[in-house]
Amino acid sequence: MRYLFCVIGQLLCCLLGPVAILGWAAPPAHPKPRLVTSFLPAYCFAVNVAGNLAEVENLTAGSVSPHDLQLSPSELRRLGTADLVVVNGLELEPWLKRALEAQAGGHRPAVVELAAGLERELIRRGTGLNPHVWLDPVLAAQAVTNVLVALQRLAPAYAAGYALNAERYLRCLAQLDAQAQVALAPLKE
């Protein structure tokens, strides 16, 4: 069962990633915000909502876990030039607070947590929290909404484009959830 959730999570990021390439709204003549994400699932959500209306860069290589990330000086500089940092939250990135405090010149980018607003009981695992919200399309939909709201606050000139992109991506997540429900139905007790 654990393997199945890992496969679904990978499919969520890899198969829905091409949505980021399709049909974006024409950008207005405003500077694009710069987003930095903490790991690949956050990048997938951010790039699918932002489309070509923001520059999105991931801090970690695809196989690197954000749990124990040790930022290099160049990664710290990239973090320092961001307008918005997209992270999972739920203590998945314990290094973030210290990295933001270390920024030269006092620049502090806005931070959005994918897991913000999620009902904690939905993501409990044993006695602790399961921070892997991207593995469930329903929880992922809330994460996408969190990114949308943060981007619209950051760059209101692009708000309509972000909303259109998020709507498309949320439809894909709903389809993925429906497919997963059908596939997993025989496994339910």
29-41 residue pLDDT tens:
689 999 999 999 9
With 0.95 as the threshold, say if the pTM is over it.
no
pLDDT at 125: 57
Report the chain's mean pLDDT, rounded to a whole number: 84
Q: What is the 3-state secondary structure (H, E, C) of 92-141?
A: CCCCHHHHHHCCHHHCCCEEEECCCCCCHHHHEECCEECCCHHHCHHHHH
131-178 residue pLDDT tens:
888 998 999 999 999 999 999 999 999 999 999 999 999 999 999 999
1-19 residue pLDDT tens:
555 554 465 555 555 555 5
Write down all domains in the chain, each with its CATH number in brackets. Answer: 2-18+31-182 (3.40.50.1980)
